[in-house]
Structures are given as structure tokens and as C-alpha cells.
Amino acid sequence: MKATLNLMMLIGISAAGYAAMIADGAYRDRLVAQSDTGKVLYRMIACDDHLLSAADCHACEQQRLARRIHQKWIATAAKMYSVVLTTDEQAIVAQKISAEEGHFRAAAAHFHALASAALDIRCGKDRTALLPELAKQGVTPQELDLELLHLPTIADAERAAATDYVSATRESAREYNTRLYVLQHLQAIVRKRALDERVPLDVAEESFWSEIARAIHTRIVDPAFSMPERKGILVSP
Amino acid sequence: MKRLSSIRRIPGVALLLVAAALSAQDLVPYADQSVVSKEAWLWNDDERIAARFDPVKIRERAAAVAPTLSSSSRAPDEAQGLRYMAGGCRVNGATVDYSYSSGTAFGRYPLRLTAISNFSDGNVSITAKACSGTGVCAQNSANMNRFTPSPGTASSTIYATWLEEDEGSEELGPVYIPRSASYSHGIRQLYTTTVFTCSEIGESSHYQVKDSLVTISGQDPMPVWGSTVEVRGTISWWISYRLTESANPVGCTFPVICSSKAGGVAGAFGYAPSVHEVVSPFTIDGQAAVITNGSVDITFQ
């Protein structure tokens, strides 16, 4: 009788925990914003820093949302206005990428160690036993836990472990360095528009990004968040 | 910290006062011409006794071994029975404590100065006076100069890469892709030099390492970062401190954003101290970034 009672209590606790987990998962999966170029889910911008106050955390999330949306707008504007880097700019980007080769390898080794450890754990290995070896590669237990959160299944972990992180990191650096020049080209477009329309730069910029936002149907779904500023990206606010 | 406080209690500097041969002609008074005119080996007994007990000659002999603020001079011959008492040491006109250290070939009078960090920039005069047992005194002066030059600087470019969730595809779900950015990373290290015109044992007060100001600049997204500075010197041989938000951050022009942190200690001294600054942690959008060139070094020589 007592054993049955204990079993029922255990099932009850597990069920409550599972429900909380599902609820938390759904909460993190909720749609915050979307456009023709993609969605932004809450977990993509979530502030998990428990040291921050609720208000600071929310400000942090709003800032992350703004950055993600701005990146989509920049990519769209570059396409719409056919922005291409000059030969000199391309050469500088290539030079910068070449200088960072050592960093790409180090970062790739780090990410690969994380993904491999996550795969090992998903396949049943003991997390604690992996930590000493990971520590030698500069991987912290917190990073591993975050990786496990990102890779909930064996299939996810296998996919991550098979990723060519050297190429992916190199590509991300190329995107970053290219975007710095793209911003300069877009700034030139906005300056010309301000001159042609005889309006201040910030007004021209706001109008420019409003057009882009409309073009890809950017909208904020979660009322807790607001549409990011449409100025201060190209010219000083 | 405990070590630092003990350093503050000990003398900031110890000056070696060496009783030495001194050509102090102004201390040599009138002498008996009849004795002086003859070579010593021609003196008779009376003349030898007269010269031995002549107070002027006594002072003359004493003056020859009076103290000087120099470590390069020769030591007195203690076998002659000449023991010196310091008549007093004055720093910027104020008397400071001293001690006599015997048992070596040198007569040493380490001055008990207050910690060097208590002196502001500029010149400080140090005067030492020593007297023989027979009451003959001599004095010598030296200067200590404190100077704060432009801060030492070092910089690097931090390459940062972190993982960010991307939407992925319907069938495979979200994927985590690397994102990269680079940031300028610079340190401005304040320091003050201290130079003596006389010798300073160990020259440990040569450099005083003061506040550090570290700035990271770049474009959005900016990192949330921390910084630790380690200072190694000959007195405070290892000091580590964490930097906090700077009250006087470095300003930057749009679109570059700057973030500065500062901190330091008052008493990190050394002959050729080194400063090692390490940026950690470095998170972007809540993700720990893998960074390269996260540390910079400055060595003062």
C-alpha cells in the first residue's frame, strides 16, 4: 500500500515537472516577430541572466530583437539596392579574413568539442566524466549545459558535431566584415536621398527603413515587444 | 592586500649613506704652517704629538671620512676607530627617522621615508647630516623626483565568435550558426616614476603602477565583458584587481560604440613592473564568445 502511494507521488511529481517543462518550452517557442525573411522566437532573444532585474532583462531582450530585425532589414536593403563591395573593399575583407585564420580554427575546435560532448551525453555518457577533458579545451560546464539545451535530441547533436565549424566561422566573419561596408554604401544612399528630398538625415533614414520594413512585412507579434527604431543604424541619431 | 599594507609600513625607500672620502675643503680650517711645511717623515716627536692632538687636524681627518649620499664612494676604515652618528636626516625640511646599520664595511643609514606613493609629483630634497664621535659633522643632499608621464598603452584586436540560433528549416528545426565580430581593445596604464639623485637600494620605487583604463570599442552588437589586471613588480610582486565600470569612459564617434572599465591600486611598485590585462568573460547576446587577443601586456623598463 505504502509502495503504491510512493509510486503515485513520484508519478505526480514527474507529471508536474513535465508539464512545467512543456509549458516553459512553449513559452520559449512563442513567436515574437516575423517578416517574409523569417521568424524571431522568444528563445532567440531570451535573457537568461538571473542577476539582471526584470526591467533590465526585458530591455536586453528588446535590444536583441532590434538587432535581429535590423540585420534582416540590412540584408534586404542590400539586395533591393544591389549593393556590391568595390574591388578595394573586397580585398580588405579578404585580408581581414586571412588574418583571422588562427581564430577560426580555435573557435571551431571549441564549438566542435562542445557539440561532440553534447552528442556523447545524448548517447548516454556521463556528463561529469566529460567535464575534465572539456575544461582543458576551455569549455565551462555552463556552456555545456547551454549546448545541451540547444541540442535536445541525438539527431540535433549529430548534426552539430558534423558541422564544419572552420568554414562556418570563416563565413560568419566574412559576413560581418562585408556588412560594415554594406552599411557605408546604404549610408551613402540615405545621404543622397536626404539631399534630393531636402530633409534631415535622420528623417531620410527613418523613411528608408520604413520602406524596407514594409517591403518584407515586418511585424511584431508579441505585444510585450515593440518595433525597433528605424534610425540610428546608418547615421548618428 | 595584506602584503600591500605591510609594504606601506616599511620605508618607501632606503638610502645608502656611505661614510666616504670627502674632499670637503671648506671643512679644513687653518693648520700650523711649521708642521705642514715639513714632510711627515721629517717631524720630530713633539711635532707628531702636536699634530695628533691638534683639534684642527682632528677635524680635518674626520672630514676626510664624513658621509656622502653616494653609493659609489669608498668605505671608511672602521679599524681606525671612526664610528659615525647621524646628525639627522631631513626630507623637504622635515626630519625623518633613520637607523644605523653597522657590521659591514659601510656605515649605512637607511632613511625611514613615508611610502613613496604619499609624495606628489615634483622634487623632494633629502639632506643627511652625520657627525663623528669627536663632534665633526658633514652633510650632503640628494633629490627625489616624482613624475607622471602619459599613460603606457597597449592594444589588440579582439576576434569574437559565438553561436546564435537561426530559424533553420521546417524538417530539421533550428540550427546554431557561428556569428563573428571584431573589437578594438586598448589599455591606458597610468604610472609615476621616481628617480633619486643618490642611490636607491633595489630601485623598487622606480615605477609606481596606478589605475588601468581598458576600453573595448566596436559596432553593434557590443559585448558584456569583464577584465582583470595583474601587476608584477619587485616589491608588490603580484597584485590582481578586477576592473569596474569607468566613471570617465573613453568617448567614441558613431557608429563606433565604446565601453570602458577602470580600476587600480595605489602601491604597485617595481623596478621594471609588468601589467597583464585579460578580458573575461565576453558574452554577446547572452552567449559566451570564443575570443582571440583577449589580453594585452605592458612592461615598464
Closest Cα in chain B, distance from residue A155 (Å):
9
- What average pLDDT does range A65-93 have in this prediction? 96
- What average pLDDT does range A198-216 have in this prediction? 95
pLDDT value at residue A162: 94
* Euclidean distance between CA atoms A226 and A190, whole angstroms: 24
Whether B128 and B21 map to the same domain: the answer is: no
pLDDT value at residue A174: 97
A38 close contact with B: CB closer than 8 A:
yes
Which parts of B142-274 fold into alpha helices (H)?
A: none
- What average pLDDT does range A12-26 have in this prediction? 54
Whether B266 and B294 map to the same domain: the answer is: yes
Nearest C-alpha in B relative to A62:
B285
pLDDT value at residue B228: 96
Looking at chain A from residue 140 to 169, which residues have their Cβ under 8 Å from any Cβ of chain B?
Answer: 140, 142-143, 146, 150, 156, 159-160, 165, 168-169
Whether B180 and B263 map to the same domain: the answer is: yes
> CA angle, B183 as apex, B182 and B186 as ends, to 5°?
145
Whether B35 and B96 map to the same domain: the answer is: no
Ramachandran angles phi, psi of B206, nearest 5°: -55, -45
Check B288 against A175: CB less than 8 A apart: no
Last residue of some domain: B107, B130, B146?
B146
Nearest to A64 among B181, B285, B290 (CB): B285
Check A39 against B177: CB less than 8 A apart: no
A55 against B130, higher pLDDT = A55
Whether B294 and B157 map to the same domain: the answer is: yes
B249, part of any domain: yes
B176 close contact with A: CB closer than 8 A:
yes
pLDDT digits (tens, 9 = 90+) for B177-188: 999 999 999 999
Whether B162 and B265 map to the same domain: the answer is: yes
Check B254 against A236: CB less than 8 A apart: yes
Closest Cα in chain B, distance from residue A77 (Å):
18
Q: Which residues of A touch B220 (CB under 8 A)?
A: 67, 70
Cell reading at A229: 527604431
- What average pLDDT does range A175-183 have in this prediction? 96
pLDDT value at residue B88: 54
pLDDT value at residue A49: 79
pLDDT value at residue B62: 57
pLDDT of A124 higher than 60: yes
B180 close contact with A: CB closer than 8 A:
yes
B50, part of any domain: no
Tell me what ipTM this predicted complex has. 0.86
Lowest-pLDDT choice from A31-40, A61-70, A99-108, B165-174: B165-174
* Euclidean distance between CA atoms A13 and A20, whole angstroms: 11
Total domains in chain B come to 3
**Residue A131: enclosing H or E segment and its boundaries?**
helix A127-136
Whether B190 and B259 map to the same domain: the answer is: yes
Looking at residue B109, the DSSP 8-state letter turns out to be: -
Can you give the pTM of this predicted structure? 0.75
Last residue of some domain: B96, B112, B146?
B146
Whether B139 and B96 map to the same domain: the answer is: yes
Interface contacts A/B by beta carbons within 8 Å = 82
Give the number of other CB atoms < 10 A from CB of residue B242: 10
Whether B160 and B284 map to the same domain: the answer is: yes
| Cis preceding linkage at B281, omega within 30 | yes
B133, part of any domain: yes
B49, part of any domain: no
Q: Hey, of B158, B161, B167, which one would you mutate to test binding to chain A, going by the most A CBs within 10 A of its CB?
A: B161
B74, part of any domain: yes
Whether B253 and B171 map to the same domain: the answer is: yes
Mean pLDDT by 10 residues, chain B (301 residues): 35 35 26 50 76 71 50 30 43 61 54 78 82 72 91 96 85 85 96 86 84 94 94 82 88 91 83 92 91 95 82
Burial class of residue B236, CB neighbours in 10 A (0-12, 13-18, 19+): buried
A57 close contact with B: CB closer than 8 A:
no
B211, part of any domain: yes
A105 close contact with B: CB closer than 8 A:
no
pLDDT classification of A25: cutoffs 50, 70, 90: low
Whether B83 and B118 map to the same domain: the answer is: yes
Q: How many CA atoms lie within 13 A of B19 on its CB side?
A: 29
Q: Hey, of B156, B163, B177, B184, which one would you mutate to test binding to chain A, going by the most A CBs within 10 A of its CB?
A: B163
> What secondary structure does DSSP assign to A134-145, as a single string?
HHHTT--HHHHH
Nearest to B177 among A104, A142, A172 (CB): A172
Closest Cα in chain A, distance from residue B256 (Å):
10
Q: Which domain holds residue B288?
A: 152-299
Check B165 against A110: CB less than 8 A apart: no
**Residue B216: enclosing H or E segment and its boundaries?**
strand B207-218
Whether B98 and B116 map to the same domain: the answer is: yes
B103 against A216, higher pLDDT = A216
Last residue of some domain: B130, B146, B162?
B146
* Euclidean distance between CA atoms A72 and B285, whole angstroms: 17
As a whole number, the mean pLDDT across chain A is 89
pLDDT classification of A58: cutoffs 50, 70, 90: very high
pLDDT digits (tens, 9 = 90+) for B82-122: 233 344 556 666 666 565 555 554 555 666 677 788 889 99
